[in-house]
Structure 1
Amino acid sequence: MSRDQYSFTNPVEQYARVEPPVQHQPMPGVQARMTPVPDLGEATYRGSGRLAGRKALITGGDSGIGGAVAIAFAREGADVVIVHLPAEQEDAAHILGHIEKAGRKGHAIAADITDAARCRALVAEAVGVLGGLDILVNNAGKQVAVEKIADLSDEQFELTFRTNVFANFWITKAALAHMSAGASIIST
């Protein structure tokens, strides 16, 4: 069965059914240690120049959806800066390798986005590296599952909102000064 993005295939049959074992990692999880390792399109996605010359900043760009977006954007012709937690360096290096293999400029910023000043600084760093900013993808997120709301500490609740809500606000606010009409902001 072809996994080529240009072939017409039944999407139900296009991909293998995978039932990975339940896995536990301390936070933050590292994608490289998952079994099986998720498919981010490394071997299958072919770009066609849709983002030629664009400059993108992607939070949470080291793995999962953010990693897949970073690879796809690079293969579409964009230069990409990814933001990741310091503990996720291994995953970030993997994504940077694919960005550079696509012939694009790639840069990684290890940052805790729960701090407003750090969010402003990482936008400034990205703009400096890229020479501007056309696309912002607010993808980084945090969630800790608990059985009962009583088990969720005030500290964890605040950290979740600082990561998932406040950081989007701070990063978007800082990025807007560098984005012109027609630029894109994507928040997941």
Structure 2
Amino acid sequence: MNEQVSIPAQSQDAMPAHEHEMTPAPDYAPRYPGSGKLHDKVALITGGDSGIGRAIAVLFAREGAKVAIAYLSETKDAEETKRLVEEEGSEALLIEGDLGKKAHAEEAVNATMIKFGKLDILINNAAQQWLDEDLTELSEETLRRTMDSNVMSYFFCTQAALPHLESGASIINTSSVNAFAGMGSLISYSTTRGASLALTRSLAANLADKGIRVNAVAPGPIWTPFIPGTMPAEQVEDFGSETPMGRAGQPWEVATAYLFLASADGNYYTGQTLHPNGGMVVGA
């Protein structure tokens, strides 16, 4: 078990927020030598610049995958993730832009195909969130921005990827503990994570006969740029201490779930959800 890491009060006036401004830095680093679980695979990871996306990118690279990293605008974080992937001896492609626009989602998939010649794994992970404790105060602009980022991009990227995915391919969607338990201060975000869960289950049934597996990961409180980018500084302090484990999770502890589902280890899993959440018991 990891030692509990003290998280001081902090906040950022940005969404998406920036990993390089966080204290302490999130822990993305894989813990074990690679064993070739993703040898010769190509993965497109949305929201791959930081947080869980960065941890997935680095772990996948260690396991032999080439990685396309799609992100909105956080260039400094994305460049660092690319460096980390290359440090693992792999290749990375950075793709900047708004995946909530169908044309850009298509461009991201096309760029991946041009660079690497194929696509085996799609990780729909990009997301944004805002506090919205009073639903009457939630603006249409913020709601549509949340839906575009967290729902529409998943549809658009999947639509663009499907013609290139062959039997044995894997799609993994990021959901959240909030899709199961709800969160009174994150109504719109929780709703979008429920949508990614329903998409996962429906698409899994739709694609099973094609040999394409579709699963989800529903993290609990994880120390990523989401947290200082969303919460007031005083709420960030000791973030995650309410879990049974008494601490926030680190991105590397979530990335292993994606590796399991993306690799042959998860061959008999489709339509399922893994729950790295520090012991919070929720419905499956």
- The reply on whether 1:112 has 2:127 as its aligned counterpart is no
- The reply on whether 1:185 has 2:210 as its aligned counterpart is no
1:137-160 Cα distance to aligned partner (Å, 9 max, x none): 000011111221112101111111
Q: Is contact 1:58-1:139 (8 Å) kept? A: yes
Counterpart selection for 2:43 from 56, 78, 82: 56
How far 1:46 sits from its partner (Å)? Answer: 2.5
Q: Which runs of 5+ in 1 are unaligned?
A: 1-13
Structure 1 pair 45–90 and aligned structure 2 pair: CA distance change class (3 A): farther
1:18 & 1:100 partners in 2: Cα distance? Answer: 28
What is the TM-score when the length of structure 1 is the normalising length? Answer: 0.89
Other-structure match for 2:18: 30
Q: Is contact 2:15-2:129 (8 Å) kept? A: no
Secondary structure of 1:177's aligned partner: helix
Other-structure match for 1:74: 61
Secondary structure of 2:17's aligned partner: coil
How far 1:45 sits from its partner (Å)? Answer: 4.2
Where do residues 133-172 of structure 1 align in structure 2 (5 Å cutoff)?
133-172=119-158
2:6 & 2:137 partners in 1: Cα distance? Answer: 29
Q: CA RMSD in A?
A: 1.1
Structure 1 pair 45–156 and aligned structure 2 pair: CA distance change class (3 A): farther
- The reply on whether 1:83 has 2:83 as its aligned counterpart is no
Moved over 2 A (4+): none
Q: Is contact 1:100-1:106 (8 Å) kept? A: yes
- The reply on whether 1:125 has 2:84 as its aligned counterpart is no
Other-structure match for 1:39: 27
1:45 & 1:58 partners in 2: Cα distance? Answer: 21
Q: Is contact 2:15-2:128 (8 Å) kept? A: no
Letter in 1 for 2:90: R
Q: Which runs of 5+ in 2 are unaligned?
A: 175-284
Letter in 1 for 2:64: G
2:38 & 2:131 partners in 1: Cα distance? Answer: 37
1:110-131 Cα distance to aligned partner (Å, 9 max, x none): 1111211111111111111111
How far 1:47 sits from its partner (Å)? Answer: 1.5
How far 1:183 sits from its partner (Å)? Answer: 0.4
What is the TM-score when the length of structure 2 is the normalising length? Answer: 0.59
Letter in 1 for 2:150: N
Which protein, 1 or 2, shows the higher relative CO under an 8 Å CA cutoff with sep ≥ 6?
2
Q: How many residues align?
A: 173
Q: Is contact 2:49-2:70 (8 Å) kept? A: yes
Identity between Structure 1 and Structure 2 (%): 43
Q: Is contact 1:45-1:72 (8 Å) kept? A: no
1:80-118 Cα distance to aligned partner (Å, 9 max, x none): 0001122x1111111111111111111111111121111
Other-structure match for 1:93: 79
Other-structure match for 2:239: none
Q: Is contact 1:134-1:179 (8 Å) kept? A: yes
